[in-house]
């Protein structure tokens, strides 16, 4: 069944936080980068099998698209971290609300994250997974937002580098909203008062 027409979704939101003029990455741009990332991962791990660990909730759409372009055997698992409360300001402390279930000992792991901001979440997750003795851990982030970085973390595969701004769509949320948008938009904080 066809999903909602994205243009009608956008018109629903028009005049609210998300407007066409705030479009940052179109569907086509995202698709090109996701395909390229899958190509790099497929080349780097040729002849091997990887465990992809998607960080919920934000990475669910990115991971779903990424795996369909992968050309290597892989398995998928998820972890859910709670770091942001309501709104766009990090609470600073991370809790695991759903843990990785697969045994990753001796495996090549690729963490799939929607966006790296302060780096606190990914540093926390990397340290936690290291203790389970994988053969390697790489990080694949759709967006690397460097300006507010607090921890030294390096993403091995990056879709887009962004200086600043709070963005939504393609899995990224503001207070759990806007994840469904096929494109990525910059939103103005304090401008998110629509209800559906």
Which residue among 17, 33, 109, 113 contacts ligand IMP (CB under 6 A)? 113
Nearer to ligand IMP, 13 or 172 (CB): 172
Which residue among 115, 125, 181, 192 contacts ligand IMP (CB under 6 A)? 115
Structure tokens belonging to residue 147: 């300006």
44 part of the active site: no
In the shown chain, the binding pattern of residues 58 to 97 toward Mg ion, with x for contact by CB under 5 A and - for none, equals x---------------------------------------
Q: How far is CA 165 from the centre of its chain?
A: 15
Q: Rg for the chain (alpha carbons), in Å?
A: 17
Buried residues in 85-123 as b, exposed as e (16+ CB within 10 A): eeebebeeebeeeeebeeebeebbbbbbbbbbbbbbbbb
Which residue among 24, 111, 140, 172 contacts ligand IMP (CB under 6 A)? 172
Distance CA 172, CA 181 (A): 9
Nearer to Mg ion, 54 or 58 (CB): 58
Q: How many residues touch ligand IMP (CB under 6 A)?
A: 21
Q: Is 183 in the site for ligand IMP (CB under 6 A)?
A: no
Helices (H), the chain: 6-13, 27-44, 60-67, 120-130
User: Which are the catalytic amino acids?
Assistant: 117
**Which stretches of the chain bind ligand IMP, using CB under 6 A?**
55, 58, 83-84, 90, 113-122, 145, 166-168, 172-173
**Which stretches of the chain bind Mg ion, using CB under 5 A?**
58
């Amino acid at each position: 069944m066809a999903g909602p027409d994205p243009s009608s979704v956008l018109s629903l939101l028009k005049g609210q936080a998300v407007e066409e003029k705030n479009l940052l990455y179109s569907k086509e741009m995202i698709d090109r980068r996701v395909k390229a990332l899958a190509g790099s991962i497929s080349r780097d791990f040729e002849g091997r099998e990887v465990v992809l660990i998607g960080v919920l909730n934000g990475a669910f759409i990115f991971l779903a698209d990424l795996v369909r372009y992968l050309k290597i055997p892989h398995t998928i698992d998820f972890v859910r971290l709670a770091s942001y409360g309501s709104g766009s300001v990090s609470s600073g402390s991370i809790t695991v609300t759903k843990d990785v279930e697969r045994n990753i000992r001796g495996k090549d792991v690729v963490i799939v994250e929607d966006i790296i901001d302060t780096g606190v979440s990914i540093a926390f997750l990397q340290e936690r997974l290291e203790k389970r003795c994988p053969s390697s851990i790489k990080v694949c982030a759709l967006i690397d937002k460097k300006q507010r970085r607090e921890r030294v973390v390096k993403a091995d595969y990056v879709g887009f580098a962004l200086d600043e701004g709070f963005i939504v769509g393609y899995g990224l949320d503001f207070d759990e909203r806007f994840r469904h948008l096929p494109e990525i938009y910059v939103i103005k904080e304090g401008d998110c008062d629509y209800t559906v």
